[in-house]
Structure 1
Amino acid sequence: MIEDPQGTILALFAAFCRVGGCFLVLPGFSSARIAMQVRLFLAVAISMAVLPIMWDTIYPKVSGPTSTYIGIIAIETVIGGVIGLITRYYVLGLQFAGTVLTMMIGFTGPPSQDILEDAAENQLTNLISLTGLTVLFMMDFHHVVMRALVDSYTAMPMGGTFSPQGALISLTDALSQTFTIMLSLASPFILYGLLFNVAVGLVNKLAPQLPIYFISLPFLITGGMFLLYFGISSLLEIFANGFVPVFEGR
């Protein structure tokens, strides 16, 4: 029997604020393709799983005045959002690399509906983004995030003060490392596109009467697709292996 039902509900909601703030922006779980009720119930279920583990940490903090509890709600939501944003930045980095990749190989067809979000995106970028996120799920990246949520109660205790500077430093460091990794993933295609366009430019100077764009574009796309075919496994492997160092380094 629950001795303090009101305190238990307040503690559960406090845990839900941090978990829900994370799941609000967590890639995959925050997708527009997942029903809102499913996302809500999933966040509640994770909160109910976290509460018994962190009961001694959460429950004493929610027994104070109402103004203090409102401040806890705001701070907990922001902390969860920061944890989720680190992961989201990493997945958005793959989408950025996919966009660069498609531009450099000339695969710039009309955009189609994004599989993950309510936005228009190139078909090849959609494929790379969805595949990368699927690989992260196969490697249980959500378990890493949930473990980080539990560990965050030690690093950022409930009821303490929130440090905007520390949060911004964590986000900028995550963006910096993500950009470096994604640039290394797209670098073969960037070099391929630059070399191909330089060669085509030289040919155009030698024979300016040729419609060089219409002649060269099929070769550019074909070579880029072959390069993607032989390099996609390494691309996804580097992407998957880089997640844990970027996330846990924060």
Structure 2
Amino acid sequence: LTYFVLALGSELLLGIVLAIGVRFLFASVQLAGQFLGFQMGFNMASVMDPQTGGQSSVMAQFLYLFMVLIFFSVDGHHIFIRALSYSFEVIPPGSFELSASIVGGLVKVSNQMFVLALKLAAPVMIGLFLSNLCLGIVARTVPQVNILMVGFPLNIGLGMILLGLTMSSLAPFFVSIVKSMGQVLMMILQGP
């Protein structure tokens, strides 16, 4: 009976580790949305996130739901199930231990989460940075203009336009993220 309980705990821990790996992929998209929401001025408006129970940016929720839509449309759940079945070949049932190499794999994936978030948000953030730079120059040259009243709608409108323009390239990028999920999970299981 004790072996059964230990094996059950071992498999539960393995499932948690794999779920954390997949969660990191979705968290990178949410983090990119947080970056964009902050740059666009949506940080004052937030929505309730039912998954975490906290508040999140409107852009983070939008990109997260878009990622979930793509995840299921390209059979991401099947990729996860295949990776889960492959874990039985790599780690026999009941023998999973949380080793330093697995923790190292999780750390490596979490590091890639931030890089991925910056890659996703970079085109829009660069455009918004240039917009803010131009607004700063206008504010210095023409102090009579109320930049605050011009800046908020301009950043939101420009951010939405840039996001709309980059959406056609974001969708294939999301697809590649989902398709690389199997390799990410294997990297976690095999360590760095």
Q: With the length of structure 2 as denominator, give the TM-score of the two structures.
A: 0.87
Tell me by how many angstroms 1:130 deviates: 0.6
Q: Which residue of 1 aligns with 2:88?
A: 153
1:106 correspondence with 2:41: yes
Other structure's SS at 1:162 match: coil
Q: Distance in 1 between matches of 2:183 and 2:19?
A: 12
Q: Which residue of 2 aligns with 1:221?
A: 156
Q: Distance in 2 between matches of 1:68 and 1:74?
A: 10
Tell me by how many angstroms 1:120 deviates: 2.2
1:124 correspondence with 2:59: yes
Tell me by how many angstroms 1:235 deviates: 1.1
Q: Which residue of 1 aligns with 2:110?
A: 175
- For 1:229, give the aligned amino acid: G
Q: Deviations over 1:207-226 (max 9, x none)?
A: 22332111222122111111
Q: Which residue of 2 aligns with 1:133?
A: 68
Tell me by how many angstroms 1:86 deviates: 0.6
Report if the CA contact (8 A) 1:87-1:247 is conserved. no
Q: Distance in 2 between matches of 1:237 and 1:105?
A: 24
Report if the CA contact (8 A) 1:104-1:193 is conserved. yes
Identity %: 25
Tell me by how many angstroms 1:117 deviates: 4.7
- For 2:95, give the aligned amino acid: G
Report if the CA contact (8 A) 1:105-1:220 is conserved. yes
Other structure's SS at 1:108 match: helix
Tell me by how many angstroms 1:243 deviates: 2.5
- For 2:77, give the aligned amino acid: H
- Would you say how many aligned residue pairs link Structure 1 and Structure 2? 185
Other structure's SS at 1:159 match: coil
Report if the CA contact (8 A) 1:86-1:247 is conserved. no
Q: With the length of structure 1 as denominator, give the TM-score of the two structures.
A: 0.68
Q: Distance in 1 between matches of 2:45 and 2:152?
A: 16
Report if the CA contact (8 A) 2:29-2:67 is conserved. yes
- For 1:138, give the aligned amino acid: S
With a CA cutoff of 8 Å and minimum separation of 6, indicate the structure with the bigger relative contact order.
2
Other structure's SS at 2:45 match: coil
Report if the CA contact (8 A) 1:95-1:129 is conserved. yes
Report if the CA contact (8 A) 2:47-2:58 is conserved. yes
- 1:242 is matched with which residue: 171, 177, 187? 177
Other structure's SS at 2:43 match: coil
Tell me by how many angstroms 1:145 deviates: 0.9
1:205 correspondence with 2:140: yes
Report if the CA contact (8 A) 1:105-1:189 is conserved. no
Report if the CA contact (8 A) 2:80-2:181 is conserved. no
Report if the CA contact (8 A) 1:189-1:224 is conserved. yes
Other structure's SS at 1:242 match: helix
Q: Which residue of 2 aligns with 1:44?
A: none
Q: Distance in 2 between matches of 1:203 and 1:104?
A: 19
Q: Distance in 1 between matches of 2:150 and 2:82?
A: 54
- 2:128 is matched with which residue: 193, 218, 223? 193
Q: Distance in 1 between matches of 2:57 and 2:98?
A: 38
Report if the CA contact (8 A) 2:71-2:175 is conserved. yes
After TM superposition, the structure 1 = structure 2 runs for residues 15-30 of structure 1, keeping only pairs within 5 Å, are none
Other structure's SS at 2:53 match: coil
Tell me by how many angstroms 1:135 deviates: 0.7
